[in-house]
């Protein structure tokens, strides 16, 4: 079997390898914590290697979805086991793969009780996150999306700090509420998207079938010919906004967008280091990814209709999140609110509907995964030593932990988007694209740019209070600097920060085709929709392998939901 033959199995392996690891852990004796850790690290490491292979194999000039596999699953309901990646998801897969071993390493000494269960949870989350990113079937996507929830709930609720129960419950209820609403929308898309008999949960199929209806609807909203709307377009006209909002609600909670963000600081503060890294590093991106993959491309007309709302919320999030950071006394809470601010930039980039902004947003997703993952990871090292999150309990730490301080400073510069670090590339592209989006009020990018000064204010103020000044507490005097394991973890982050900041082109090249298609598809809902070529907003859907050839279907009109 050569490499080419292995390719169809690659994504399956990426998703299920952590699960296999979790299965293996079940057979390990409970008291062998070291073995449990080592095997988890190995599984995560191999998963990272596989993700890297997928990333390298991915051809930026190739088809829209690559490494695809589509198998029959539940033919009568139109559900298939369909995996595939485009430029954005393969990048996020790599990010998720990278954070896997980091998470294990960062909690090496931190977790003492129920070590086995902890690591099983980590592997389950890893599998679910990978699955969410590569699923091209809505049911499969939903299953993985929900599957992230339970191990994460356990991670916060079992291994968290003092007020972990409330935090876990809040996280769970918020997210569950959103995803249940999304489930209704998924079913609705299923029923309207295709005529009875040909119904499918397949992403590509629905994506293609909604194309002409969206076109007609866009023409209608611009006052050209509403008379010729197809039944599907009529349905979309009536129900599209609701369906868009249902998807958007689920993803907006996950991002989180203001005012649905209040679960985030609590979850971060209470979660163990590993939980915070996963949450900030990958899980929040599931929200932005959802907007990018589902909410906007499926309902571009509705998305355009609600665009002012989301752009406004994104900008409010940027400024509000940053202001909240300035008022925090707790390091983890500060980093959590900075996530609200940074993801506001991602959302602004997504809703600007220009290529620069969208690629900047995609880049910012990766950046935020790296830099906020790094901030939580690094602070975790400090927390392990001092067991306090209060900024005022520190001071002068740079004196006793110089390497740690240097690493933290590098990540801080990434977080405040200093050129040369990854943060600058993403933020700059988003601002550039938003400035270029002539249909947006100029005040939005102007307000968004204040993130530069606000970010510098809260991060440097925190750094000043934690690292600089004299050591006025004896507990801080005896802190030891990072050991080898911690140092290597920190160095991995720093290498990524600088690499992505200095040579962004290879990363952006992979994102570019996905960006162009996303923007073209989003343009479908705007007054520019006539300029969009069909070829740019269609995807090729592979046939189901191993399924009997489909019977010719009698033409049946699409179900028109009552209006």
Partner 1 sequence: MNSPVLLGEVALGAPALAALLLVVFPWARRRRAPAAGLTIASSLVAAAAAAKLVIDRTGGAPDVRVTIPWLPAQGHTLAEVGLQLDGVSVVMLLVVTVVALCVQVFSLEYMRDETARSYGRYFAYHALFLFSMNLLVLAPNLLQLFAGWELVGVTSYLLIGFYFARPSAARAAVKAFWMTKLADMGFLFALLVLFASTGSFDWTVAASPQVATAVTALLFIAVVGKSAQFPLHVWLPDAMEGPTPVSALLHAATMVAAGVYMLVRADPLFARAPATRDLMLWVGAGTAAFAALLALVQTDIKRVLAYSTCSQLGLMVAAIGAGSAFAGFFHLGTHAFFKALLFLAAGSVIHAVHSNELGAMGGLRRRMPLTSAVFVVGALSLSGVPGFAGFASKDLVLASVEGKAGWVPWVLLMASAFLTALYMGRVLVKAFLGPPSEAAAHAHEPGFSMTGPLVLLAVPAVFAGLLGGWLARSLGADYHLHLGLTPVVASAAAVLGLGAAVFVFGGAGRRVPWAAALEYFDRGAFVDRGWESLYRQVLLRVSGWARWVDRYLVDGVINALGWGTLEVGTTVRPLQTGRTRDYVFAVMVGALVLAWLGGWR
Torsion sign over Cα 415, 151, 93, 199: negative
- How far is the first Cα of the chain from the last one, in angstroms, to the nearest whole number? 55
CA dist., res. 122 & res. 100, Å (int) = 8
Minimum distance between the CB of residue 461 and partner 1, rounded to whole angstroms?
7
Minimum distance between the CB of residue 538 and partner 1, rounded to whole angstroms?
19
CA dist., res. 161 & res. 385, Å (int) = 15
> Per CB under 8 A, does 63 bind partner 1?
no
| Run of H or E including 67 | strand 66-74
Cis before residue 259, ω within 30 degrees of 0? Answer: yes
CA dist., res. 338 & res. 364, Å (int) = 13
> Per CB under 8 A, does 62 bind partner 1?
no
Give residue 417's region: left, alpha or beta (phi > 0; psi -120 to 50). left
What is the Cα Rg of the chain in Å? 23
Minimum distance between the CB of residue 398 and partner 1, rounded to whole angstroms?
6
Given the rule CB under 8 A, which of 42-50, 107-115, 169-177, 378-386 is the region that contacts partner 1? 169-177
**Interacting residues with partner 1 between 382 and 411 (CB under 8 A):** 396, 398-399, 402-403
Minimum distance between the CB of residue 260 and partner 1, rounded to whole angstroms?
8
- Token pair recorded at residue 308: 């002012």
Bridge partners of residue 526, in order along the sequence: none
Q: Quick check: 437 and 352 in contact, CB under 8 A?
A: yes
CB atoms within 10 A of CB 533: 8
Q: What separation in angstroms does the CA of 152 have from each of 44, 56, 118, 147, 288?
A: 17, 30, 10, 9, 19
C-beta of 215 vs 333, nearer to partner 1: 333
Minimum distance between the CB of residue 120 and partner 1, rounded to whole angstroms?
30
Per-residue x/- mask for partner 1, residues 457 to 496, rule CB under 8 A?
A: x--xx--x--xxxxx-------------------------
Block residue for tokens 């699953």: 73
C-beta of 251 vs 363, nearer to partner 1: 363
- Token pair recorded at residue 552: 């010719």
> Per CB under 8 A, does 355 bind partner 1?
yes
C-beta of 64 vs 117, nearer to partner 1: 64
Torsion sign over Cα 272, 329, 315, 259: positive
Minimum distance between the CB of residue 411 and partner 1, rounded to whole angstroms?
13
Per-residue x/- mask for partner 1, residues 232 to 271, rule CB under 8 A?
A: --------------------------xx-xx---------
Q: What separation in angstroms does the CA of 548 have from each of 92, 140, 465?
A: 34, 21, 67
Given the rule CB under 8 A, which of 29-37, 46-54, 275-283, 509-517 is the region that contacts partner 1? 509-517
The binder of partner 1 chosen from 143, 226, 450, 499 (CB under 8 A): 450
Per-residue x/- mask for partner 1, residues 313 to 352, rule CB under 8 A?
A: -------x--xxxxxx------------------------
CA dist., res. 561 & res. 563, Å (int) = 6
The binder of partner 1 chosen from 138, 350, 431, 500 (CB under 8 A): 431
> Per CB under 8 A, does 292 bind partner 1?
no
Cis before residue 160, ω within 30 degrees of 0? Answer: no
CA dist., res. 204 & res. 32, Å (int) = 46
The binder of partner 1 chosen from 29, 162, 505, 562 (CB under 8 A): 505
How many residues of this chain interact with partner 1, rule: CB under 8 A?
Answer: 58
Contacting residues toward partner 1, per CB under 8 A = 170, 173-174, 258-259, 261-262, 320, 323-328, 355-356, 359, 396, 398-399, 402-403, 413, 418-420, 424-425, 428-429, 431-432, 435-436, 445-446, 449-450, 452-454, 456-457, 460-461, 464, 467-471, 504-505, 508-509, 512, 515-516
């Amino acid at each position: 079997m050569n490499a080419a033959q292995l390719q169809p199995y690659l994504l399956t392996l990426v998703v299920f390898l952590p699960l296999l690891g979790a299965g293996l852990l079940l057979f390990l004796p409970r008291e062998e914590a070291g073995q449990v850790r080592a095997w988890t690290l190995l599984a995560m490491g191999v998963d990272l290697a596989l993700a890297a292979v997928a990333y390298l194999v991915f051809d930026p000039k190739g088809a829209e979805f690559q490494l695809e596999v589509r198998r029959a699953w539940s033919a009568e309901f139109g559900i298939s086991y369909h995996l595939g990646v485009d430029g954005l998801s393969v990048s996020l897969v790599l990010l998720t793969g990278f954070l896997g071993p980091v998470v294990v390493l960062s909690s090496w000494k931190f977790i003492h009780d129920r070590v086995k269960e902890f690591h099983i949870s980590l592997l389950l989350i890893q599998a679910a996150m990978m699955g969410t990113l590569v699923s091209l079937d809505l049911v499969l996507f939903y299953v993985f999306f929900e599957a992230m929830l339970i191990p994460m709930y356990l991670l916060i609720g079992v291994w968290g700090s003092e007020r972990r129960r409330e935090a876990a419950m809040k996280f769970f209820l918020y997210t569950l509420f959103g995803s249940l609403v999304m489930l209704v929308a998924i079913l609705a898309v299923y029923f309207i998207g295709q005529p009875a008999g040909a119904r499918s949960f397949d992403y590509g199929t629905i994506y293609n079938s909604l194309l002409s209806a969206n076109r007609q609807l866009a023409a209608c909203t611009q006052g050209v010919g509403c008379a010729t709307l197809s039944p599907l377009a009529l349905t979309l006209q009536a129900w599209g906004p609701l369906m868009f909002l249902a998807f958007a609600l689920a993803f907006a909670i996950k991002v989180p967008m203001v005012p649905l963000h209040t679960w985030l600081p609590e979850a971060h503060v209470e979660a163990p280091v590993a939980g915070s890294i996963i949450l900030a590093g990958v899980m929040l991106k599931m929200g932005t990814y959802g907007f990018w993959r589902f909410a906007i491309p499926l309902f571009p007309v509705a998305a355009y209709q609600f665009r002012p709302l989301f752009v406004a919320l994104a900008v409010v999030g940027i400024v509000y999140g940053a202001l909240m950071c300035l008022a925090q006394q707790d390091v983890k809470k500060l980093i959590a609110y900075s996530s609200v601010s940074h993801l506001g930039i991602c959302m602004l980039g997504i809703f600007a509907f220009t290529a620069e902004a969208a690629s900047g947003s995609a880049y910012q997703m990766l950046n935020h995964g790296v830099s906020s993952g790094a901030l939580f990871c690094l602070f975790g090292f400090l927390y392990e030593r001092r067991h306090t999150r209060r900024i005022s309990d520190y001071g002068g730490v740079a004196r006793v932990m110089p390497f740690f301080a240097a690493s933290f400073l590098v990540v801080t510069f990434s977080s405040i988007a200093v050129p040369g670090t990854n943060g600058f590339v993403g933020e700059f592209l988003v601002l550039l694209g938003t400035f270029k989006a002539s249909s947006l009020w100029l005040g939005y990018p102007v307000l968004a740019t204040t993130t530069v000064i606000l970010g510098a204010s809260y991060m440097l103020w925190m750094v000043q209070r934690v690292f600089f000044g004299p050591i006025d507490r004896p507990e801080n005097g005896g802190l030891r600097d990072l050991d080898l394991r911690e140092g290597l973890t920190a160095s991995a982050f720093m290498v990524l920060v600088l690499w992505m900041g200095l040579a962004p082109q290879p990363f952006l090249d992979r994102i570019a085709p996905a960006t162009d298609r996303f923007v073209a598809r989003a343009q479908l809902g705007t007054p520019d929709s006539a300029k969009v070529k069909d070829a740019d907003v269609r995807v090729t859907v592979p046939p189901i392998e191993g399924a009997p050839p489909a019977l010719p279907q009698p033409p049946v009109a699409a179900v028109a939901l009552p209006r």
